[in-house]
Amino acid sequence: MAKHQFSRTAYGRMQAEFDDLSTRGRFAVAEKIERAREMGDLKENGDYHAAKDEQGHMEGRIRQLEYLLENGEVIDSGPEGEVRVGQKITIVYEGDSDDMAETYIIGHVEERLDGFDIVSPGSPLGSALLGSTVGSWVGYAAPNGELKVKILSVGPA
């Protein structure tokens, strides 16, 4: 079993970012470094050091994406209304009213979607939610005791 699970959307987004950074991104940074070298003295050349820093950060992101893509698997959607990786879920805690509901994306941090927090499938809440269906109550162990949440909706992110 793969170490990381992703929705098809997140996997595609990571693949596109990897392709862009490992081609266009590398050429763009190499050009910045070359232009900065032409300015002379490298010891006190801020443009050169900034471009080298940018190159280092970009290469780190390329390696991270390469690792995730090689060690990840795409999880396709399951039965309608069942919580799976890469879905948007709305839950409400026991004792709260439905207007206090919270919506999350369940999955790896790469599942990011503006405006939504991520719940890891390995977290107590995430592991309790996986496989559950809309309308069901799910309990999980939290640092301050047992908590229960009701799943109000499940859908694509």
Q: For the chain, give every domain's residue range.
A: 4-74, 87-156
Fold agreement between 4-74 and 87-156: no
Apex 112 CA angle, 108 and 114, nearest 5: 160
Residue 4 or 12, more confident: 12
Q: Would you say residue 58 has pLDDT above 50?
A: yes
Beta strands in 7-127 (DSSP E): 72-74, 87-93, 102-106, 117-119
Q: Rounded CA gap, 122 and 45, in Å?
A: 46
Read off the pLDDT of residues 90-101 as tens digits, 9 standing for 90 and up: 999 999 999 999
**Model pLDDT, residue 1:** 46
Read off the pLDDT of residues 17-28 as tens digits, 9 standing for 90 and up: 999 999 999 999
Instruction: Identify residue 41 by its one-letter amino acid code.
Output: D
Q: Rounded CA gap, 58 and 60, in Å?
A: 5
End-to-end CA distance of the chain: 24
**Model pLDDT, residue 2:** 53
38 three-state secondary structure: coil
Q: Would you say residue 124 has pLDDT above 90?
A: yes
Q: Does CATH place domain 4-74 in 1.10.287.180?
A: yes
Pick the CATH number of 87-156 from 3.40.50.2000, 3.40.50.970, 3.10.50.30, 3.30.230.10: 3.10.50.30
Q: Rounded CA gap, 11 and 128, in Å?
A: 24
For residue 85, name the pLDDT band (cuts at 50, 70, 90).
confident
